[in-house]
Amino acid sequence: MPILETIGLEKRFGGILAAANVNLSVKKGARHALIGPNGAGKTTVINLLTGVLRPTAGRIMLEGRDITDAAPHERVRLGMARTFQINQLFLDLTPLESIGLVVSERLGTGADWWRVVGSKPAVTDEIVEVVERFRLTDVMHERTAILPYGKQRLLEIALAFACRPRVLLLDEPAAGVPEAERHELLATIEALPAEVTVLLIEHDMDLVFSFADRISVLVNGALFVDGAPEDVARDPRVKAVYLGEELDA
Amino acid sequence: MVTTSATAPLTPVLADDVAAYLKRRSRWSPLEVVFWIFAFASIWLFPDKYLILKDTAILALFALSLDLILGYAGIISLGQAAFFGIAGYFSGLVAKYGLINEPVIALVCSGVVAAALGFVTSFLVLRGSDLTRLMVTLGVSLMLGEVANRYASITGGADGLQGVDIAPVLGRWSFDLYGHNGYVYCLIVLFVCFVIARRIVYSPFGLSLRSLKGNALRAAAIGIPVKWRLVAIYTVSAGFAGIAGALLTQTTAFCSLDVFSLERSADLLLVLIIGGTGYLYGGLIGAVIYKFLQDWIATLTPQYWQFWIGLVLVVIVLVGRERVEGWIAAARGSVARLGDRLWTRIRPRSAALGGAADGD
């Protein structure tokens, strides 16, 4: 059974069909990449998966459970978290506070209004683990707004990871990260625990082919090709519509 | 035990650092302690000013209630008077008809009534933009004002609620003519409410409010039920506003329709513009400045005092909050450093942990 599955997913914006009969199937533990040219509907699909948008037709299944009607925050509790293509951070909080917030929510103390943040050792232990994993230790007391972009990008993933998702959706994690900070980012993505299923949406073909064990190609809102990286790379139709222009460039 | 290799030896230190930092966030700063010592010292320092001090304390609590939703959750409101007013009438009526005689119990009940109204109306307020919220909150308080006007047989209508007789607090302290007990009562209630508000904003719940004010999209994406958090803080805020309203009725033994007035809600925004939002003291400091400015200007020019309040408002907005806040932050920083130095002498061990986390 796939851990994440969409069945006939469709989204219309007025007359425009942004996602058409998308049947995506992500296996447990996979490193699955969703690629496609600009405007192919990748972001629409991720917004449908996470509940930011409601589909006009079709179902979304997470671990066999129908989550089509679940609110965004409920999907997080059911085990699926995402990052955003454009950073969505809490600029006035420090990384430590931001991660502390997520961990508190996940451990069910988020609505606790009487105790001080981090007064429970279980919370601080987990904060430390996330801070270290995402190499944010030396900036954890800085205001998020003034962090270097690469660190902000790491925090973007750290916040999603701190939700302890079984499925992690990464929306162009490397977008806009300067070359000097890129290595650190890619290394942390590589080092994500194997049991976490990752669905990667990415433009960067180097990252896709070094990371993914399965690739789905989205064109004009529809799934075009779906298979192992070698097969996708060899597929003449994919080359024609997409990879050719990207790889040659 | 720990499997990650390179960073493993550092982890315990880091964990202590994180825990210490998070605890330090909520520690009472020396400046805060000074503030409250001065507030309570005012009981002996200004014995001839009890009436204005009492009004200030009530306004401060009222402004604190708005700061909780505006400064922490980003909900703007022109209708806090709805909660102030309903609790004002409720506390007056229960005292008048002898339903609840003990003022403290009546005060708590009034707060609960206001909170209940807050809970019900929160669903109207939480949809929509800032402008929608301003209009909806304003509308609710206008409607309640007219309801109170219409049912004059209960509320006394335009004449106000007469014949309210407030029993002594806890059966011991009656409200005297000079306002001494009234002021002490208001100040203690303000302090208790402030401590509760302070607990709230430094709790995980309070942190989640700040996060959803900053970025509601992301807050939902990390599993925060945004709507319910807003409902919760709106309800708490309404309760605080209600307690302020009940204090006014109890200390004056009177309640009139102007508890619902737009001016009351608008004054509150003015107070927060003067004092600033999002650090809890804005409402308190703003209320002190506002009340004493009002008092001082009114003695100079009794008829046209609002001209000068208006001028102050314009100047504050034009000069820019940031500059004023910069001075305050600088002052606060130097006091905090002084405090830390003293702390180092007293508690060398905890300071060693804290020193590493000296982020702000």
Question: From the CA of B210, how many Å to the nearest CA of chain A?
Answer: 8
Partner residue facing A90 (CB), from B11, B214, B220: B214
Strand order in the sheet with A197-201: A80-82, A167-171, A197-201, A31-35, A214-219, A222-227
DSSP H or E segment with residue B35 = helix B30-45
Q: Which amino acid is at B134?
A: L
Whether the per-residue pLDDT at B355 is higher than 50: the answer is no
Is residue B8 very low, low, confident or very high in pLDDT (cuts 50, 70, 90)?
very low
What is the arithmetic mean of pLDDT over B180-191?
A: 94
* DSSP per position, B217-267: HHHHHTT--HHHHHHHHHHHHHHHHHHHHHHHHHHHT-B-GGGG-HHHHHH
Query: Which residues of chain B lie closer than 8 angstroms to A71, CB-CB?
Result: 220, 225
Binding-site residues on chain B for chain A (CB distance < 8 A): 4, 7, 11, 14-15, 18-19, 21-23, 25-26, 199-200, 202-208, 210-211, 214-215, 217-218, 220-226, 229, 232, 357, 359-360
Q: Residues 6 or more apart from B120 whose CB is under 8 A from it?
A: none
Identify the residue among A50, A73, A109 best suited for mutation to test binding to B, counting B beta carbons within 10 A and taking the highest.
Answer: A73
Return the ∠ at Cα B286 (arms to B282 and B287), rounded to 5°: 120
Other beta carbons within 10 Å of A39: 12
Judge: B22–A100 Cβ closer than 8 Å, yes or no. yes
For chain A, what is the radius of gyration of the CA atoms? 18
Q: Residues 6 or more apart from A220 whose CB is under 8 A from it?
A: A20, A40, A41
Judge: A88–B207 Cβ closer than 8 Å, yes or no. no
Whether the per-residue pLDDT at B303 is higher than 90: the answer is no
Judge: A159–B222 Cβ closer than 8 Å, yes or no. yes
Partner residue facing B15 (CB), from A125, A159, A160: A125
d(CA B197, CA B219): 22
Lowest mean pLDDT segment, chosen from A5-9, B15-19, B318-322: B318-322
Is residue B179 very low, low, confident or very high in pLDDT (cuts 50, 70, 90)?
confident
CA dihedral sign of residues B340, B342, B345, B350: negative
Amino acid A249: pLDDT: 41
Partner residue facing A128 (CB), from B15, B25, B360: B15
Whether the per-residue pLDDT at B142 is higher than 70: the answer is yes
Partner residue facing B22 (CB), from A113, A116, A160: A116
Judge: A90–B211 Cβ closer than 8 Å, yes or no. yes
Query: Which residues of chain A lie closer than 8 angstroms to B224, CB-CB?
Result: 73, 105, 110
Q: Residues 6 or more apart from A87 whose CB is under 8 A from it?
A: A152, A153, A156
Q: Which amino acid is at A70?
A: A
Amino acid A153: pLDDT: 94
Do residues A150 and A185 lie in contact, with contact meaning Cβ atoms separated by under 8 Å? Answer: yes
Query: Which residues of chain B lie closer than 8 angstroms to A82, CB-CB?
Result: 221
Query: Which residues of chain B lie closer than 8 angstroms to A113, CB-CB?
Result: 199-200, 203-206, 232
Summarised one tens digit per residue, pLDDT across range B246-300 is: 999 999 989 999 999 888 998 899 899 888 888 999 999 999 999 988 888 888 8
Query: Which residues of chain B lie closer than 8 angstroms to A132, CB-CB?
Result: 4, 7, 11, 14
Other beta carbons within 10 Å of A58: 18
Whether the per-residue pLDDT at B141 is higher than 70: the answer is yes
Find, among B115, B91, B96, B258, the residue nearest to B193 by Cα.
B115
Is residue B9 very low, low, confident or very high in pLDDT (cuts 50, 70, 90)?
very low
Maximal C-alpha separation, chain A? 61
Query: Which residues of chain A lie closer than 8 angstroms to B22, CB-CB?
Result: 96, 100, 116-119, 124
d(CA B310, CA B313): 5
Residue A216's DSSP bridge partners are A34, A226
Instruction: Residue count of chain A, please give it.
Output: 249
Query: Which residues of chain A lie closer than 8 angstroms to B13, CB-CB?
Result: none
Other beta carbons within 10 Å of B244: 32
The domains of chain A, with CATH numbers, are: 4-248 (3.40.50.300)
Would an 8 Å CB–CB cutoff place A84 in contact with chain B? yes
pLDDT tens for chain A, 249 residues: list them.
899 999 999 999 888 888 889 999 999 999 999 988 888 888 899 999 999 999 999 999 999 999 999 999 999 999 999 999 999 999 999 999 999 999 998 887 777 777 777 778 888 889 999 999 999 999 999 999 999 999 999 999 999 999 999 999 999 998 888 888 888 898 999 999 999 999 999 888 888 888 999 999 988 888 888 889 988 888 888 777 765 555 444
Is residue B351 very low, low, confident or very high in pLDDT (cuts 50, 70, 90)?
very low
Amino acid B358: pLDDT: 41
3-state secondary structure of A58: strand
d(CA A193, CA A31): 11
Lowest mean pLDDT segment, chosen from A89-103, A199-213, B5-19, B135-149: B5-19
Judge: A81–B211 Cβ closer than 8 Å, yes or no. no
Find, among A137, A161, A95, A98, the residue nearest to B10 by Cα.
A137
Partner residue facing B210 (CB), from A52, A93, A162: A93
Would an 8 Å CB–CB cutoff place A159 in contact with chain B? yes
Question: From the CA of B316, how many Å to the nearest CA of chain A?
Answer: 23
Q: Is A31 left (phi over 0), alpha (psi -120 to 50) or beta?
A: beta
Whether the per-residue pLDDT at B38 is higher than 80: the answer is yes
The domains of chain B, with CATH numbers, are: 28-287 (1.10.3470)
Whether the per-residue pLDDT at B231 is higher than 90: the answer is yes
Summarised one tens digit per residue, pLDDT across range B323-337 is: 666 776 777 777 777
What is the arithmetic mean of pLDDT over B80-101?
A: 92
Find, among B286, B275, B256, B269, the residue nearest to B325 by Cα.
B275
Question: From the CA of A176, how many Å to the nearest CA of chain B?
Answer: 20
Whether the per-residue pLDDT at B104 is higher than 50: the answer is yes
Query: Which residues of chain A lie closer than 8 angstroms to B7, CB-CB?
Result: 132, 137
Give A 95-134 residues with CB within 8 A of chain B: 96-98, 100-102, 104-106, 109-119, 121, 124-125, 127-128, 131-132
Identify the residue among B1, B7, B202, B207 best suited for mutation to test binding to A, counting A beta carbons within 10 A and taking the highest.
Answer: B207
Is residue B110 very low, low, confident or very high in pLDDT (cuts 50, 70, 90)?
very high
Amino acid B90: pLDDT: 95
Choose between B32 and B355: higher pLDDT: B32
Would an 8 Å CB–CB cutoff place A140 in contact with chain B? yes
Judge: B14–A162 Cβ closer than 8 Å, yes or no. no
